[in-house]
Amino acid sequence: MKAMGVGGLLSLLFVLGSGGVESPMVPVTTVLPTIKGVPLADVQLLQRATHMAELPVVNTEGKLPGTVRDIVLSDDRKRVDFLAVVFNDLPERIVSVPFEALRMTPDGKHLVYDIDRAGLDKAPGFPAEKWPAIYATRRVKELLGLSVQDSTGTAVARIRELLIDTGNKGRITEASVAIGGLLGVGEKLASVDWGLVTLPDNVRYASIKMSLEELKGLAYSEKEYWERLGFGGPTHENTPKLDIPEPVPETSD
């Protein structure tokens, strides 16, 4: 996997101060040069939904810290619609941040949203404790853990992860499903094309036209599975680092 469209990024500084956002509710105390980040559309990497759904968020000045609470999919559940973000300054409200409005720092550990305090007050959203019913079946955290049934209605796996293609408008490419094991021990993971997964209107389970034996033929141990995808293992906190060159210092003639 590799990043694309980075030729024009040589002069950018991607730094967070020592007072950066280690915890989503700890205010930034050091403001360093503008944090521009990389547009998500240029981040040609698969992102683990569980990672993106908990990322810290800052604005381009390193202020207005917040954190992602969940990822909301489009009506057809094929791509990311928006990220539900709670900002420290508005803890009682979830702000609906459009996927295309976000950037990512090169280390993949922060999202950057170009907004100021006045804009934040006007941003679309809803009360943090009262999610609109229309999003109930589109929240990624509600899809994770769903039982996966085969064509006979037999449970054969469960959804462990969704992979997001940031370079393709947040399209969900595949589901990582867990099979076998006992209470999570000894499980193996297999990738299933998201387009082959069917979700009923009530989203109480998922179904695929594959048998357990077919899934077993695609399965790997958890460590090998994530390494094959370039994530460095099951505990890897992030996607692979973006291959972005260091800024070129200006020189006088």
CATH of the domain at 218: 2.30.30.240
Please give the pLDDT value at position 244: 33
53/161 same-domain check: no
Q: Taking a C-beta distance cutoff of 8 angstroms, is the pair 244, 103 a contact? A: no
Whether 219 maps to a domain, the answer reads: yes
Residues 120, 224: one domain?
Answer: no
> How high is the pLDDT of residue 41?
63
**Residues of the chain scoring pLDDT < 70:** 1-37, 39, 41-44, 181-185, 232-253
In this prediction, residue 169 carries a pLDDT of 85
Among the candidates 79, 112, 134, a domain finishes at 134
CA gap 207, 156 in Å, rounded: 9
Q: Is residue 252 part of a domain?
A: no
Nearest partner of 176 among 186, 187, 162, 188, judged by Cα: 162
If one counts the domains in the chain, the total is 2
Bridging pattern class, strands 206-207 and 147-149 = parallel
pLDDT at site 81: 96
Same domain, 169 and 88: no
pLDDT in the model for residue 247: 37
CA dihedral 18, 22, 28, 31 (to 10 degrees): 40
Residue 237 resides in a domain: no
In a domain, 242, yes or no: no
User: What pLDDT is stored for residue 4 in this prediction?
Assistant: 38
- Distance (Å) of CA 52 to CA 11, 48, 214, 238: 26, 6, 30, 9
Q: Please tell me the predicted confidence (pLDDT) of residue 192.
A: 95
* Of the candidates 103, 100, 135, 112, the residue with the CA atom closest to the CA atom of residue 66: 112
